[in-house]
Structure 1
Amino acid sequence: MVGTANPLIQEDAEGPLQRKRLRPYLIGQTSVTNAQFATFVEETGFVTEAETFGWSFVFWAQVSGEAGLTQGARDVEWWRRVDGATWREVNGPGTFETAWHPEHPVIHVSWNDAQAYAKWAGGRLPTEAEWEHAARGGLQDARYPWGDRDPDDQSFFPCNIWQGRFPQINSGGDGYLTTAPAKSYEPNGYGLYNMVGNVWEWTAEPFRIRSQRKAARARQAQMRGFRLAKGGSFLCHASYCWRYRIAARTGNSPDSTTTHTGFRVVWDVEARMKH
């Protein structure tokens, strides 16, 4: 099942609920971790786009004190351009020792970087249908991987999202102010971790909206050339970005890098059996 019969963000084309047939595939139990990405870099000498550009976007609350003056993104000033921010120096220069954790999802990776890693790993990025099927864990039109109960700011913390008033106050009620380990919280019915929250996950597909609604057409035009991402992140909250739902979707340019976007890999079963 893909989409939902109860869309919340109409301009994102979350609905309708559709049935699709998929070929058998394997999917990473977690998003790709820093340790896994480090192995890839060590074996290939790969240089990420953030390293090539010399900067990446860091959420304002995590910007290193050594970063100096930073520039905010237009209309979303909480995103700061930080020179020297990379998958190793996640919050800016001098933060490797304090902010980089091998078991956390790799971040500051573009769609192009994710594609390169997936190819090296013998796999690929998932389609939207593959991602959603995996996220549902055997459920049908469920809002989340665990069912329909909404996370809250007081007592129910099934995933890593924002608690409080975005973007000023995050209580960290779920245990984390930034990324959590890739294997944390309870897995879904398929044994997969953090399919929503923690970090957005790149998919193989362009961001497309098939709708005649004026707002939807305007959003599609604004995001032309963008790539689809799923799952939401540690910065999502129902009051601002209620996109940590299975059917929710967003997009970004394929060379964009931030502190809240990673990816996971899928493998075609038939191809794996041949090798």
Structure 2
Amino acid sequence: MIKRRSFNALNLSLALSLSLLLTACNKSAPLQAQASTPVGQPVPLPLTRFQPSVANGTPAPHIAPVGMAWIPGGEFSMGAADAPDGDEVGMQATRDSRPIHQVYVDGFYIDKTDVTNAQFAKFVHATGYVTVAERKPRAEDFPGAPPENLIAGSVVFTPPDHSVPLNDHFQWWSFVHGADWRHPTGPKSNINGKDNYPVVQVAYEDAEAYAKWAGQRLPTEAEWEFAARGGLAGKPFVWGDEFRPKGKWMANTYQGHFPNSDTGEDGHVGLAPVASFAPNGYGLYDMAGNVWQWTSDWYRPDYYRQLAASGKVARNPQGPDASFDPAEPNEPKKVHRGGSYLCTDQYCSRYMVGTRGKGEVSTGTNHLGFRCVKNGV
């Protein structure tokens, strides 16, 4: 089990860990695919432009497990193009996604959708597993914490009824006693009739426990991005160049005025059932928007720079050896990918495929889920 957080992080404005969702986001200029080096020419490293993706030609070693798709693996350009206009707003969404660097991943299977409430319920029924959000924090893990602060719960999006400055996320996030995967927004909520919705309020160890039970694992960040790109090279979105091709909504994101008015123009206010939008080129649903997804990589903002500095193609990178976020150096964090239904160009543009999020490992929210992968051998 991963050690829980310090009392300072518990003190809920506390259990909010400033990063947690901060995943959060910001407005950023559209990422544009840049001209590529001709095939067969030496590739300059570190890269300043996207190269063509080269998928392996090896077929799947066997029939894909139920609900999973075969991803052939291969070499691709990973990361985000410079978006300097975005650096002037909020969280500077793409700085930790630079520079573009070359990566190779072996083939693997991946869930076509995020793990659903029904799937997670089957796991809990079979194992008796209790999620982090359902456990009362232990006094020994939080020395000096007042007993009244040691309560089970999780973080919930609680929008105000009026406009607020976007430089203070405490205006729309709250720690809610009794919020967990069965009660995503608090004890009065439930998941009745929502079997096909993504499970949320899962901490990293919860996702990892499910994956182990299923005979699978969580994807590395590199595997996740290769799969999300669906064979496309350097596109800003998992489906191509335009956010709304021919006016069509392609993902569950936030419309209206963030954070106080979600108009649901894409057909959904809040979470959507999985596979509500068209799949990408590999047949994967919701690789942008709806819920953020855990990956197995520890978070460091300089990791891409480390890989690029080697001057070599990174082969099956597993992430850094340990987490480090200068903003919260004592909080262990894993990388989140994909954005969520709360992403908007007013504040959060991380539904863009090259961008990254981060989250403290024992913190779940009602816009964070996961999907699993399985080795191809």
Which TM bucket (shorter chain)? 0.7 to 0.9
CA distance in 2, matches of 1:34, 1:203: 19
CA distance in 1, matches of 2:102, 2:82: 15
Say if 2:174 is the partner of 1:84: no
Supply the AA of the counterpart residue of 1:158: M
Cα distance change, pair 131–223 in 1 and its aligned pair in 2 (3 A): farther
Residue 27 (structure 1) aligns with? 110
Higher gyration radius (CA) = 2
CA distance in 2, matches of 1:11, 1:233: 16
Give the one of 75, 82, 95 matched to 1:6: 82
CA distance in 1, matches of 2:281, 2:130: 36
Residue 120 (structure 2) aligns with? 37
CA distance in 2, matches of 1:112, 1:151: 36
Cα distance change, pair 223–206 in 1 and its aligned pair in 2 (3 A): farther
Equivalent runs, 1:87-236 vs 2, <5 Å: 87-96=181-190, 101-151=194-244, 155-210=247-302, 220-224=325-329, 225-236=332-343
Q: Percent identity at matched positions?
A: 42
Q: Is the 8 A contact 1:27 1:267 kept in 2?
A: yes
Deviation at 1:223, TM superposition (A): 4.2
Where in structure 1 are there 5+ consecutive unaligned residues? 63-73, 213-218, 271-275
Cα distance change, pair 199–229 in 1 and its aligned pair in 2 (3 A): same
CA distance in 2, matches of 1:175, 1:94: 24
Say if 2:180 is the partner of 1:60: no
Q: Is the 8 A contact 1:12 1:249 kept in 2?
A: no
CA distance in 2, matches of 1:241, 1:94: 29
Deviation at 1:220, TM superposition (A): 2.9
Deviation at 1:95, TM superposition (A): 1.7
Deviation at 1:75, TM superposition (A): 4.2
CA RMSD of aligned residues (A): 2.2
Q: Is the 8 A contact 1:207 1:223 kept in 2?
A: no
Superimposed CA distance per residue, residues 199-226 of structure 1 (whole angstroms, 9 cap, x where no aligned partner): 00000001111169xxxxxx93114421
Residue 17 (structure 1) aligns with? 100
CA distance in 2, matches of 1:82, 1:198: 21
TM-score, normalised by the number of residues in structure 2: 0.63
Where in structure 2 are there 5+ consecutive unaligned residues? 1-75, 87-91, 137-151, 161-167, 307-323
Please state which structure has a larger fraction of its residues in helix: 1
Q: Give the length in aligned residue pairs.
A: 251
Superimposed CA distance per residue, residues 161-201 of structure 1 (whole angstroms, 9 cap, x where no aligned partner): 00011001111001111111112100000000000100000
Cα distance change, pair 151–169 in 1 and its aligned pair in 2 (3 A): farther
